[in-house]
């Protein structure tokens, strides 16, 4: 019997404290995650590919202002928005990524076009925008990425510390009782899926970290760090302190442990998130599926916006531990 197709998504991990949220804000997150899971589930139910399902789920996460990607992206130190995205197809090991774009409405669609049509895997900055433009993708004025909530976060972050990954600054920030988003300094969105054809895929997108230095590239657009997919093992999308995920090759490491140590998706993911990342103070989590339809959503922070949906079943969504 074939395993049931499944999609899992995340909307970022961090110091998401129950006491800093209220019922209304929680309900808004659960509703957004559920709607997006249902959209991905429909694609998979219709026999669509894992690659199409994760691309569409991340496009919807980008369009939702609750999450730090696309519309809803955080501000850089320069007061601008810089967006990164990546996508990988487990069936072919083909991948596409873009970093540091400022006017592409949906970065994940640009990453997908790189995968689909380019001999290259990654484009950055002006060259990435030129590629997206040549591909006829939708462009927006940079003001499209402006949201009042993110602007307030930025104004606060500018007043705290230049050290963006300072845990003290994060705690202080969270205690400011920002109902929409207590800590999105390392917010990222992502999706992984397993389809009816036995293939897996992953996609990741981010608006970066609040008040980051211009030009900083995190793990989200980096194949093997923030995104990885291989039918032989698994598909992974991560979120967290990007620099530590880059140094650990967090997404690929889950796959490598499955392939070379012969451990399960669950054991490999837990080792990366609960053991390896904390050794270098890496905080965050990931969502992953394997080619048997198993799903894991581990994180080492107070919370991670997350959920999964198997075709024909009611989506599961969660925020806290």
- Paired tokens of 234: 């698994």
Which x/- pattern over 139-168 shows residues binding a second copy (rule: CB under 8 A)? Answer: ------------------------xxx---
Q: According to CB under 8 A, which residues from 289 to 308 bind a second copy?
A: none
- Distance of closest approach, residue 51 Cβ to a second copy, in angstroms: 15
Binder to a second copy among 183, 243, 290, 302 (CB under 8 A)?
243
The answer to the question of residue 212 lying near a second copy (CB under 8 A) is yes
- Paired tokens of 65: 């202002």
Binder to a second copy among 6, 100, 220, 235 (CB under 8 A)?
100
Please give the torsion angle defined by the CA atoms of residues 49, 55, 57 and 58, in that order, rounded to the nearest 10 degrees.
160
Q: What count of other Cβ atoms lies within 10 Å of the Cβ of residue 16?
A: 25
Q: Which helix (H) or strand (E) holds 55?
A: helix 50-63
Q: Which stretch binds a second copy (CB under 8 A): 34-42, 178-186, 220-228, 306-314?
A: 220-228
Q: According to CB under 8 A, which residues from 45 to 64 bind a second copy?
A: none
Contact assessment for residue 219 and residue 284, using Cβ atoms and an 8 Å cutoff: no
What is the Cα–Cα distance from 174 to 247, expressed in whole angstroms?
26
Annotated binding site for substrate: which residue ranges? 216-219, 239-242
- Paired tokens of 58: 């991340």
Contact assessment for residue 114 and residue 98, using Cβ atoms and an 8 Å cutoff: yes
Annotated active-site residue in 76, 188, 204, 317: 188
Q: Classify residue 19 by its DSSP letter.
A: G
Binder to a second copy among 29, 67, 75, 123 (CB under 8 A)?
123
- Distance of closest approach, residue 280 Cβ to a second copy, in angstroms: 6
Nearer to a second copy, 154 or 316 (CB): 154
Binder to a second copy among 7, 128, 235, 286 (CB under 8 A)?
128
What is the Cα–Cα distance from 247 to 315, expressed in whole angstroms?
33
What is the Cα–Cα distance from 87 to 209, expressed in whole angstroms?
20
**Burial of residue 51 (number of CB atoms within 10 Å: 0-12, 13-18, 19+):** buried
The residues, ordered by sequence, that sit 6+ positions from 317 with a Cβ below 8 Å of its Cβ are 29, 30, 33, 34, 37, 306, 307
Q: According to CB under 8 A, which residues from 245 to 264 bind a second copy?
A: 246-249, 252-253, 256-257, 259-261
Would residue 204 show up in a list of annotated catalytic residues for this protein?
A: no
Residues recognised as catalytic: 188
- What does the binding site for a second copy look like in residue numbers (CB under 8 A)? 82, 88, 93-95, 99-100, 118-128, 130-131, 163-165, 212-218, 222-225, 228, 242-243, 246-249, 252-253, 256-257, 259-261, 280
């Amino acid at each position: 019997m074939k395993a049931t197709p499944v999609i899992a998504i995340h909307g970022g991990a961090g110091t998401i404290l129950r006491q800093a949220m209220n019922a209304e804000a929680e309900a808004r997150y659960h509703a957004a995650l559920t709607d997006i899971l249902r959209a991905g589930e429909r694609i998979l139910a219709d026999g669509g590919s894992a690659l199409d399902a994760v691309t569409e789920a991340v496009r919807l996460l980008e369009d939702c202002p609750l999450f730090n990607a696309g519309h809803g992206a955080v501000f850089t130190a320069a007061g601008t928005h810089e967006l990164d995205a990546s996508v990988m197809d487990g069936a072919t090991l083909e991948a596409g990524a873009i970093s540091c774009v400022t006017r592409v409405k949906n970065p994940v669609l640009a990453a997908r076009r790189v995968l689909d049509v380019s001999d290259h895997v990654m484009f950055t900055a002006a060259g990435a925008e030129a590629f997206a433009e040549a591909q006829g993708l939708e462009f927006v004025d940079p003001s499209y990425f402006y949201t009042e909530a993110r602007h307030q976060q930025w104004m606060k972050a500018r007043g705290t510390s230049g050290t963006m990954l300072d845990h003290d600054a994060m705690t202080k920030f969270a205690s400011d009782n920002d109902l929409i988003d207590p800590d999105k300094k390392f917010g990222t969105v992502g999706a992984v899926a397993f389809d009816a054809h036995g293939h897996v895929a992953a996609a990741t997108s981010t608006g970066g970290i609040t008040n980051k230095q211009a030009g900083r590239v995190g793990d989200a657009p980096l194949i093997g760090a923030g995104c990885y997919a291989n039918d032989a093992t698994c598909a992974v999308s991560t979120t967290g302190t990007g620099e530590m995920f880059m140094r650990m090759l967090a997404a690929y490491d889950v796959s490598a442990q499955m392939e070379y140590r012969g451990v399960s998706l669950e054991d490999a993911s837990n080792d990366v998130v609960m053991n390896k990342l904390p050794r270098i103070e890496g905080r965050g989590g990931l969502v992953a599926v394997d080619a048997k339809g198993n799903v894991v959503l581990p994180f080492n922070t107070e919370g991670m916006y997350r959920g999964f949906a198997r075709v024909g079943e009611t989506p599961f969504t969660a925020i806290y531990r």
